Amino acid sequence: NAGVTQTPKFRVLKTGQSMTLLCAQDMNHEYMYWYRQDPGMGLRLIHYSVGEGTTAKGEVPDGYNVSRLKKQNFLLGLESAAPSQTSVYFCASSWSGASYEQYFGPGTRLTVT
């Protein structure tokens, strides 16, 4: 099993450009999460999904959109990138809710200039 994979690993965008980050998991997990990690700020939840076709806002959702059209995939979109969105983005999945282990992907390092 590959676990949780993220595409791409690195990306540089100019302000105003758009992009989509792809997360895929092969563990048949119901729950999927997108976090951003900034120095000294820990992991902050952007959006999450409790099942195929569902999405919900996390702590820092502004400027991001998500979609979960297939159970194994969770997409994070930036419609108009801003320098404040420079960060490392992690996707995670879990079998059920918060009381279950979250499995993290390797991360995507995004730089917005």
Partner 1 sequence: GENVEQHPSTLSVQEGDSAVIKCTYSDSASNYFPWYKQELGKGPQLIIDIRSNVGEKKDQRIAVTLNKTAKHFSLHITETQPEDSAVYFCAASWGYSTLTFGKGTMLLVSP
**What residues make contact with partner 1 under the rule CB under 8 A?**
4, 31, 33, 35, 40-45, 48, 50, 56, 58-59, 90, 92, 97-99, 101-102, 104-107
Task: State the minimum distance, in angstroms, from the CB of residue 80 to partner 1.
Answer: 26
- For residues 31 and 74, which CB has a smaller minimum distance to partner 1 in the complex? 31
- For residues 35 and 64, which CB has a smaller minimum distance to partner 1 in the complex? 35
Measured at the CA of 65, the angle between CA 50 and CA 105, to 5 degrees, comes to: 60
Task: State the minimum distance, in angstroms, from the CB of residue 89 to partner 1.
Answer: 10
- For residues 5 and 17, which CB has a smaller minimum distance to partner 1 in the complex? 5
Task: State the minimum distance, in angstroms, from the CB of residue 43 to partner 1.
Answer: 4
Measured at the CA of 40, the angle between CA 3 and CA 11, to 5 degrees, comes to: 50
- For residues 14 and 40, which CB has a smaller minimum distance to partner 1 in the complex? 40
- The span from the CA of 75 to the CA of 91, in Å, is 9
User: With the C-alpha atoms ordered 81, 86, 43, 4, is the resulting torsion angle positive or negative?
Assistant: positive
Amino acid at 16: G
Tokens of 86: 């420079």
